[in-house]
Chains A and B, each alone.
Chain A
Amino acid sequence: MKRAKAIRERMSGNEAVAFAIRQVNPDVMPAFPITPSTEIPQMVSAYIANGEIDTEFVPVESEHSAMSAAIGAESAGARTMTATSSAGLALMWEELLLAASNRLPIVLTLVNRTLSGPININCDHSDGMGARDTGWIQIYAENNQEAYDNYIQAFPIAEDPRVHLPVMVCQDGFITSHAVENIELLEDGPVRDFVGQYEPEEFLLNPGKPVAVGPYSISAYAMEAKKAQEDAMEQSRAVIAEVAARFGELSGRQYGFFEEYRTGDADYIMVIMGSAAGTAKEAADQLREEGWKVGVLKLRVFRPFPDQEIAEALKNCRAAAIMDRCESYNGCSGPLGMEIPAALYRNKVMIETADYIYGLAGRDFTVEHAREIFAQLRDAADGKIPAARHAYVGLREQ
């Protein structure tokens, strides 16, 4: 694939995703307003109103109906997407499972925001993490550039016949969605060629070839169907890698399941997801200057979970800090705090781990916090202190 020309711009994450939607020009977009994703359907509506694209926008009366209409439209043969945040994703929950089990390649751009209560509009990952077992592929972005690039890769992943699963493309609310940063955009033509025409084999509107979607299934079939769905998630690993390689040729930007930042010889690694990875990288740079061997593993693809690759990436460090921007209320840790140690154990990588909860409902996570966590990791690895378990970062305490 020929390298496309780069267009230098300054944009917020929401603007970047809306711009990518303009380039893809999907067939149908049902959406409902919710902070902080609201800007995306607003901008798409403006593109439509100005004749720049001809996507059919459906101004539904709830997020549940947004995903319901998306399921109808995608089943009918239309390339379909929606956008939401927080409670909107929670209201869609039942439908998220149906989008995946009906094997529909819908794309959802999620602008991560905390779930109530208390009601709060700022970022954490409780919405996306709450949907982690719904059967969606989940890809998280650190910044506006990644939000843009991930969105463009989402359709070729979802629509690949080996996959046929919905994809959730996530970016952090306000921190990424509303902050304006530099970005390199691609031209419309190359993006359209990259995403390609959507040509499903079977769809409701195929004349003379009726399709029935959404059966009642007795137990004799339901478990087999779930296994087939699980297999598609497994198959998606190769497809995600292939699409990323193709996108790398087009854009010059390389993506994997995760980014390894200065981890090669690192003794201490912070595993983190989303915008706070930038903060962690800054702390790592400072500590490297001071002579420490530290690095950051920024998880990009959370579903499917790259367990073997993570274990491989962490096996040579002394200790890893696992950072969750979400509570799990399991009494032990956040979701990554459970899944990453499980991945290490299954792959017989017995390094020390510590787990932290940070940034809930938009709480600042600073370079100082990250430096302190690296220091704690070192002390835990030296046996001076116990490794942190379920520790809240930046919390006021008596």
Chain B
Amino acid sequence: MRTDITKINERTPWQGLTEGLQMFAGGTSRLFATGEWRTNTPVLIEDKCRQCLLCVPVCPDSSIPVLEGKRGAFDYDHCKGCGICASVCPFDAIVMKEGIEP
């Protein structure tokens, strides 16, 4: 009964929805892009980044992935552009750019 959410949308007939609207899967929200909410966009200046990772836990949108102890590129599909990461960076390695594009 595991759910394939690509088969569920606003045109799905009632027989095609999951029982009790339960979701038999985890983390399906990854398929929903919230990046388009942005009015400002964080941009990483890689030369300045010292990989202190202080920007990672302050992200409300889990949009700074960590791989092998290092932060990766911003997940622009989901980043909402709140600017917390830029304000906590001790090395000014993140700047906020106006608009949705990095």
Contacts and interface: CB of A to CB of B under 8 A. Distances in A.
Interface of A: 101-104, 164, 201-202, 209-213, 215, 217, 220-221, 223-225, 227-229, 231
A103 B25 CA distance: 17
- If over half of B's interface residues share one DSSP class (helix, strand or loop), that class is named, otherwise mixed; here it is loop
Given A201-B1, A210-B25, A212-B26, A102 B20 contact: yes
B82 interface: no
Interface of B: 1-2, 10, 12-15, 17, 19-26
A385 B19 CA distance: 52
A228 B25 contact: no
Contacts of A228: 14-15, 17, 19
Contacts of B25: 210, 212
Contacts of A103: 19-20, 22
A71 to B, nearest CB: 11
Nearest to B14: A224
Contacts of A104: 20
Nearest to A165: B20
Name the 7 nearest CB pairs between A and B, nearest first.
Answer: A103-B20, A224-B14, A210-B26, A212-B23, A220-B10, A102-B20, A227-B14
A225 B23 contact: no
Contacts of B26: 210, 212
B20 A221 contact: no
Nearest to B13: A224
Nearest to B20: A103
Contact of A224 (B12, B20, B22, B23): B12
Given A202-B24, A211-B22, A212-B23, A224 B1 contact: no
Contact of A209 (B2, B10, B19, B20): B2
